[in-house]
Structure 1
Amino acid sequence: MNKVAAVPPSPLRAFWLKWRFHINVLLLLIPLGFMPKYFADAALFRGDTGIGERIVGDVQVGPWSLTLAEFRNEGPLPDPAGPMKFFNAALCDTCAKQVKATYLRIGKPRSLRAAGVIFFGTPYRMGAALPVPERTPADAELWVTMEGWDGSMHQGSIALSKASPATLAWLKERGAKP
């Protein structure tokens, strides 16, 4: 008769056999820790929580007005084209059918050709990615240009310090260049 000696399991296999249930539970619980942020982001993208994390306020542009909001209450994000700051806006109910296009820019535009970035989306939830030049002064203004279906153009402004304190802090941190 041949007797085969039992070989003890390797230390790694013994560890796995003893702790596999706990490791699997941990692998399920770790993603659950990120779920609140995931659902908050999903609600923000759907528009369930409003038009942004921080509502700037109403900006009067000629006879029209719009509610401006920072998409995220943070400084500009890096982008290959330069730092970008995201803003959302919603037109007033009465002017939604009268406005053809809405533009946003740092500094006063010289003409419609230099009006800035265009807002995209529905009149009640528009978005724009605004490039932030590194030479932006601390007293800069955000200019909103609106073009009506009748060809009229109106402009309004809001101080950058009021519209996005996080962007101003970001500029100070980077040492705004003259």
Structure 2
Amino acid sequence: MSAGIARGHATTRLGRWWQEWRFHLNVLLIVVPVAAFPAFYHLARLSTGEAGLGARAPSLVQVGPFELRLVEFNDDAPIDAGVAGMRKVFRLALCEGCDDRIRAVHVRIGKPRSLRAAGALFSGPAARQSADLAVPESARPDDGLWLTVEEWDGSVHKGELALEEASPATAEWLRRIQEKRK
């Protein structure tokens, strides 16, 4: 290191630029993360369930003897996950006292033909289970969001919720896809 830089007198163009801007760059290192804190903490509170199940108030869905609460995690249109296609995350809360009777809960757009085609599986604690649902571009906005509940004794129950009620942004996205095809 030259004697000129050590005393604060930069001799090169880069050295002069650094002497002039180092304070401002260090301030940015503090300000940018602080500006991101609110979004980070909101997402963290949603993930732990402190801020509710998802982006909106949950919809009640009656599936056989069970009353489940379903909500979309965020209120945006489905996101493109590359080769996995368009994806949408839904959250589910089981009814009080029924978590010991339910083996699995599945969700899909359109009525499932069988238990093997029941769709995405919800996982996680009973109060805030999550499922990452594939949203096919061939789906229609008037298709329902179907929940399939499988009990430990082998019985299967199905229930439907209108896609417009479950996720208005997804229904609108599917309408735009259909208009482009016409």
- Structure 1 position 164 matched with structure 2 position 167: yes
Return the offset for 1:11.
Answer: 4.3
Aligned to 1:124, the other structure's residue is in SS state: coil
Q: Which amino acid aligns with 2:12?
A: S
Return the offset for 1:22.
Answer: 2.8
The equivalent residue for 2:56 is 54
- Write 1 or 2 for the structure with the bigger share of helix: 2
Q: Which amino acid aligns with 2:170?
A: T
Q: TM-score, normalised by structure 2?
A: 0.86
Q: TM-score, normalised by structure 1?
A: 0.87
The share of aligned pairs that are identical, in percent, is 45
Structure 2 unmatched ranges of 5 or more: 1-8
Residue 105 of structure 1: which of 88, 108, 115 is its match? 108
CA offset digits 1:68-87 (Å, max 9, x no partner): 01011111111212111110
Residue 87 of structure 1: which of 90, 96, 114 is its match? 90
For residues 8 and 97 of structure 1, the distance between their equivalents in structure 2, rounded to whole angstroms, comes to 71
Return the offset for 1:132.
Answer: 0.8
Q: Which amino acid aligns with 2:25?
A: I
Count of paired positions: 172
Q: Which amino acid aligns with 1:126?
A: Q
Structure number with larger C-alpha Rg: 1
For residues 23 and 82 of structure 1, the distance between their equivalents in structure 2, rounded to whole angstroms, comes to 40
CA offset digits 1:144-176 (Å, max 9, x no partner): 111112222111100001100010121123336
Residue 69 of structure 1: which of 64, 68, 71 is its match? 71
**How big is the alpha-carbon RMSD for the aligned residues of Structure 1 and Structure 2?**
2.0
Residue 134 of structure 1: which of 130, 134, 137 is its match? 137
